[in-house]
């Protein structure tokens, strides 16, 4: 079980905007936060919002594909006297397209960001967690459990994160580390907006019609707010239900 202390820190990749920012704001109620991302202005804005709410946050600018970014995040935690207790691997990209003509370079980029980025951060943060336990949340997707046409690269990367979480849960469960793949459906934000615009193009729909079609994938007929995902992450990191480890936490309204 994860036991938080005043010196605990949560590391969140892709923490400058979207789901990552929502997670950072929520986790800042529990621990100090290190937000990681490529756009410094977004990270500074997230840190300022956390500070205004009375929390502690610092940032690391870098690409998760570069393992040195993960190493710098851990070094910053140590310099601050913080111990990494929670890691949220949220950074991700997606691009749709027919498989038979999909750009191999883009395929590799999606896997490098979504999967290899998580690998780098898990390896860097694990030594920090092994002494007292910790929690790793890998931000997968409902696309990590089922397939979608024209989304082979994204789906493959998200399925791989579920497999990674299951493997790490087996390997490190006896050492007090929980690893949970978070699998949301369509969430408010720029990635879902790209899906909406893709539907507009393929179906000749208006923005309103395409948004309704995407929302219809959720049995509750809505696109999920980012804050709901953040609450789920905070619950996992609370350590209240360690038996969640290795099991996909599906947030899709029953899809």
Structure-token match 């929670």, residue found: 86
Question: What digits encode the pLDDT tens for the residues 216-255?
Answer: 988 999 999 999 999 999 999 999 999 999 999 999 998 7
In this prediction, residue 130 carries a pLDDT of 93
Q: Which of 177, 174, 183 is nearest to 224 (CA)?
A: 183
**CA-to-CA separations, 4 to 32, 129, 131, 137, 254, in angstroms, rounded:** 11, 11, 13, 16, 32
Lowest mean pLDDT among 5-9, 53-57, 154-158, 249-253: 5-9
pLDDT exceeds 80 at position 2: no
Tell me what the mean pLDDT of segment 78-90 comes to: 97
For residues 75 and 68, is the Cβ–Cβ distance under 8 A?
no
Question: What digits encode the pLDDT tens for the residues 151-168?
Answer: 999 999 999 999 999 999
Cα–chain-centroid distance for residue 197?
23
Higher pLDDT, 103 or 5: 103
Sheet of strand 8-13: strand arrangement: 57-61, 32-37, 8-13, 83-89, 134-139, 177-184, 249-251
Tell me what the mean pLDDT of segment 114-125 comes to: 98
| Residues above pLDDT 90, as percent of the chain | 83
For residues 59 and 37, is the Cβ–Cβ distance under 8 A?
yes
Ramachandran assignment for 108, one of left (phi > 0), alpha (psi -120 to 50 degrees), beta (any other): alpha
**CA-to-CA separations, 66 to 56, 117, 209, 224, in angstroms, rounded:** 25, 7, 40, 31
The rounded mean pLDDT for the chain is: 94
pLDDT exceeds 50 at position 4: no
Supply 194's token pair: 């790209």
Say how far apart CA 71 and CA 69 lie, in whole Å.
Answer: 5
The domain segmentation of the chain, as residue ranges, is 8-185, 186-223
pTM of the model: 0.93
Tell me what the mean pLDDT of segment 70-82 comes to: 97
Domain boundaries 8-185, CATH class: alpha beta
Higher pLDDT, 123 or 214: 123
DSSP-derived letter for residue 113 is: I
pLDDT exceeds 70 at position 104: yes
Supply 209's token pair: 């019609």
Active site members: 154
For residues 90 and 13, is the Cβ–Cβ distance under 8 A?
yes
User: Please, which pLDDT band fits residue 5 given cuts at 50, 70 and 90?
Assistant: low
């Amino acid at each position: 079980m994860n036991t938080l202390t005043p010196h605990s820190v949560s590391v969140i990749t892709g923490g400058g905007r979207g789901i990552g920012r929502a997670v950072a704001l929520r986790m800042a109620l529990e621990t100090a936060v290190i937000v990681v991302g490529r756009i410094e202005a977004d990270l500074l804005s997230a840190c300022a919002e956390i500070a205004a709410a009375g929390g502690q946050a610092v940032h690391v600018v870098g690409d998760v594909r570069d393992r040195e970014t993960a190493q710098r995040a851990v070094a910053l935690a140590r310099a601050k006297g913080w111990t990494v207790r929670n890691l949220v691997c949220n950074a991700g990209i997606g691009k749709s397209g027919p498989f038979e003509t999909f750009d191999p370079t883009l395929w590799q980029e999606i896997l490098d960001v979504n999967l290899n980025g998580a690998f780098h951060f898990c390896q860097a943060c694990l030594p920090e967690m092994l002494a007292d336990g910790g929690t790793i949340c890998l931000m997968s997707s409902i696309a990590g459990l089922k397939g979608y046409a024209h989304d082979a690269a994204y789906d493959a990367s998200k399925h791989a994160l579920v497999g990674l979480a299951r493997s790490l849960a087996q390997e490190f469960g006896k050492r007090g580390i929980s690893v949970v793949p978070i699998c949301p459906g369509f969430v408010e934000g720029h990635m879902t907006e790209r899906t909406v615009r893709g539907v507009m193009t393929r179906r000749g729909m208006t923005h309103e019609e395409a948004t309704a079609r995407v929302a219809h994938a959720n049995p509750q007929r809505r696109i999920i707010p980012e804050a709901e995902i953040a609450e789920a992450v905070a619950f996992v990191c609370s350590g209240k239900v360690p038996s969640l480890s290795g099991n996909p936490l599906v947030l899709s309204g029953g899809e």
